[in-house]
Amino acid sequence: MIDLLNAIVALSNFVLVPAVTYGSQLALGALGVTLIYGILRFSNFAHGDTMAFGTMVTILVTWGLQALGVGFGPLPTALLALPFGIAACMALVLVTDRMVYRFYRAQKAKPVVFVIVSIGVMFILNGLVRFIIGPGDQRFRDGENFIITARDFKDMTGLREGLALKTTQGITVVTAVIVVALLFWFLNRTRTGKSMRAYSDNEDLALLSGINPDRVVMVTWLIVAALATVAGTLYGLDKSFKPFTYFQLLLPVFAAAIVGGLGSPLGAIAGGYVIAFSEVLITYAWKKVLTYLVPEALEPDGLVQLLSTNYKFAVSFVILLIVLLFRPTGLFRGKAV
Amino acid sequence: MSDPFLIGEAMTGGYGRGGPDILHDCTIAVDRGEVAVIVGPNGAGKSTAMKAVFGMLDLRRGQVRLDGQEITALSPQERVRHGMGFVPQTHNIFTSMTVEENLEMGAFIRNDDISGTMEQVFELFPILRDKRDQAAGELSGGQRQQVAVGRALMTRPKVLMLDEPTAGVSPIVMDELFDRIIEVARTGLPVLMVEQNARQALEIADKGYVLVQGRNAHTGSGKELLADPEVRRSFLGG
């Protein structure tokens, strides 16, 4: 019985909690991708670097606040800096839209042209972020590290396994829930939100109904900038900030959006967790959990790790392929790619 | 004779700027309290004529007037604001949104209270009241057409234009839709529609336009056209 409890705790500590955290971060990223796809109708390859840009501004403001001696108690100062990051990111995407995407919209360019254009924007943002903050690893986390440490947990429960809960994990999940709730409230309850859904559903009819496309596009970019900055900052707090990592996040984020069904916000969230859980479950070394569960004679010799963590991106890629082959519209019947 | 409420007069034009002409000197009009239908063989330019009245193609010659005001240069969106309600033949509802949201979006240009108009639409199409919280894409073909017409009515248009409202629905549903359209027209709202089912459409029409190859071939009241031996022979199967 105790063994079972220990197994559950170990599983939670190493798989469930990290996967829920990572899944929430991916879900927020994928929501941005899926909104752009649904409303502007292209796959935005610059999304990873948009996340990096917003996070970078958040980090710079965090450092400034830290230098001024401003803190947020046990919570990371970055949360105070977040609104500045979001505002800067909103300004960036509006300028990009005005200078780049609007031209192609006026031409009624094909989606594939938009994709190539977004790759160009991606390279520019990539360079911009590295130029400003450098290509290296940046740490900006402060405040309390843990809500519960493994040792406290062991002392409280008397179990051999500990369940640590990092502050960043708690913040990620709480923030994600709040942001998603706000987003769905906006999309389903407000006039502007409904007009965005209408525009995504049937552009011609939306125009006939008097919905202003410029306004829909602008509001979409503002929401996407906020989502990208929040997702990037949460990821950076939880792991660390490095421009190249954010570029790499593009694959799991897109995988999440496509698995869920491009254009479907609900799908983006589900997809985020599907990808995160698959990645963590497949790259986790199961030896510890199995040791508690199977009789001694059957104890595994190896680590029982299906795939090294170095190959974690392969997991998103394989899931992506499977979905595209067998259910191209994704779990929630988005638009076919 | 005074100008009809909505008239597309001597329209000549086609899709795109360099495209060939589809309409040749074609005139379509509807007056207050009337149902006017455009019928004709396949490819006669029925839908094109209606789209021309709604501003969806470039007219080389001719003009469109609404309530005496020239609107030839206005975009379809601006015409909606001037009181024209248009129901396209396909893709005429927001499939992922609920019936009620469809109606709300129809009234997007209005800033006043829309609940009264929505109530009128529900009275006209009682089935929509029961299905108001259901996604419009899940409804049957006839119900979807009711949503589409309801959406257009939400702007409180001064004239309603329907592009083949009965396309793809069963004969029973078709009869019911025609009944509803007559009901709409009885409220004083002029209705201009394109119809594939010429006989049924002419039966309810105050005015009929038979188009052939983008030209007015026959024009008259619905009864006159139904009685015209030539119209009968060529379009109504004797």
Helix (H, G, I), strand (E, B) or coil at A27: helix
Query: Which of B92, B97, B155 is the closest to A198 by Cβ?
Result: B97
Q: What CATH code is carried by the domain that includes residue A108?
A: 1.10.3470
In chain A, residues with a C-beta closer than 8 Å to the C-beta of B91 are 202, 204-205
Interface contact flag, B77 A208, Cβ < 8 Å: yes
- Shortest CA distance from B106: residue in chain A: A209
Query: Which of B76, B94, B108 is the closest to A202 by Cβ?
Result: B94
Tokens of A176: 């994600």
Residue B149 pLDDT > 80:
yes
Residue B167 pLDDT > 80:
yes
Q: Amino acid identity of A235? A: Y
- Within its chain, how far is the Cα of A272 from the centroid? 7
State whether the Cα torsion B132-B185-B140-A37 is positive or negative.
Answer: negative
Phi and psi torsions of A134, nearest 5°: 90, 160
At residue A229 the predicted structure's pLDDT band, cuts being 50, 70 and 90, is very high
Query: What is the mean pLDDT of the segment spanning A135-140?
Result: 94
At residue A303 the predicted structure's pLDDT band, cuts being 50, 70 and 90, is confident
pLDDT of residue A333: 77
A131, part of any domain: yes
Count helices and strands in chain B by DSSP H and E runs: 10, 10
Strand B6-14 and strand B58-66: the pairing is antiparallel
Q: What range defines the domain where residue A22 resides?
A: 2-326
Query: What is the mean pLDDT of the segment spanning A91-116?
Result: 96
Query: What is the mean pLDDT of the segment spanning A20-30?
Result: 97
Interface contact flag, A209 B80, Cβ < 8 Å: yes
Strand A165-166 and strand B215-220: the pairing is unpaired
Inter-residue contact A32 to A231 (CB < 8 Å): yes
Query: Which of B77, B91, B104 is the closest to A202 by Cβ?
Result: B91
A125, part of any domain: yes
State whether the Cα torsion B112-B116-B122-B128 is positive or negative.
Answer: positive
Mutation for B interface: A202, A208, A264, most B CBs within 10 A = A208
Mutation for A interface: B108, B138, B162, most A CBs within 10 A = B108
Tokens of A291: 């040791």
Interface contact flag, B96 A204, Cβ < 8 Å: no
Strand B58-66 and strand B69-70: the pairing is antiparallel
In chain A, residues with a C-beta closer than 8 Å to the C-beta of B109 are 209-210
Tokens of A26: 């991916």
Q: Residues near B111 by Cβ (< 8 Å), separated by ≥ 6? A: none
pLDDT of residue B238: 57
In chain A, residues with a C-beta closer than 8 Å to the C-beta of B93 are 202, 205
A17, part of any domain: yes
In chain A, residues with a C-beta closer than 8 Å to the C-beta of B54 are none
At residue B26 the predicted structure's pLDDT band, cuts being 50, 70 and 90, is very high
The average confidence (pLDDT) of chain A is 94
Q: Strands across the sheet with B215-220, in order?
A: B84-87, B159-163, B191-194, B35-39, B207-212, B215-220
Name the one residue in this structure whose structure tokens are 């040792």.
A151
Residue A309 pLDDT > 90:
no
pLDDT of residue B214: 93
Question: Which range, of A113-117, A238-242, A327-331, averages the lowest pLDDT?
Answer: A327-331
Q: What is the tens place of the pLDDT at every residue in B68-83?
A: 999 999 999 999 999 9
Supply angle C-alpha A257, A262, A268, rounded to 5: 40
Element (H, E) at B151: helix B141-153
pLDDT of residue A302: 86
A337, part of any domain: no
The count of domains in chain A is 1
A332, part of any domain: no
Interface contact flag, A209 B93, Cβ < 8 Å: no
Rounded Cα–Cα distance for residues B93 and B210 (Å): 29
A333, part of any domain: no
Helix (H, G, I), strand (E, B) or coil at A117: helix
State whether the Cα torsion A315-A317-A319-A321 is positive or negative.
Answer: negative
Tokens of B227: 């009685």
Q: Residues near A222 by Cβ (< 8 Å), separated by ≥ 6? A: A90, A93, A94
Q: Which of A148-152, A171-175, B16-20, B72-76 has the highest mean pLDDT?
A: A171-175
Query: What is the mean pLDDT of the segment spanning B150-161?
Result: 96
The average confidence (pLDDT) of chain B is 92
Q: Amino acid identity of A100? A: V
pLDDT of residue B237: 67
- Shortest CA distance from B107: residue in chain A: A209
Tokens of A76: 């990371």
At residue B169 the predicted structure's pLDDT band, cuts being 50, 70 and 90, is confident
Query: What is the mean pLDDT of the segment spanning A195-215?
Result: 94
Query: What is the mean pLDDT of the segment spanning B208-219?
Result: 94
Q: How large a percentage of chain A has pLDDT more than 90?
A: 85
Query: HSE-up of A177 (CA within 13 Å, CB side)?
Result: 7
Name the one residue in this structure whose structure tokens are 């400003």.
A132
β-pair partners for A294: none
At residue A336 the predicted structure's pLDDT band, cuts being 50, 70 and 90, is low
Rounded Cα–Cα distance for residues A76 and B164 (Å): 61
A334, part of any domain: no
Closest CA to B190 of B219, B224, B153, B225: B153
Residue A34 pLDDT > 70:
yes
Residue B221 pLDDT > 60:
yes
Question: Which range, of A32-46, A90-104, A323-337, B26-40, averages the lowest pLDDT?
Answer: A323-337
A336, part of any domain: no
Give A216 to chain B, closest Cα distance, Å.
13
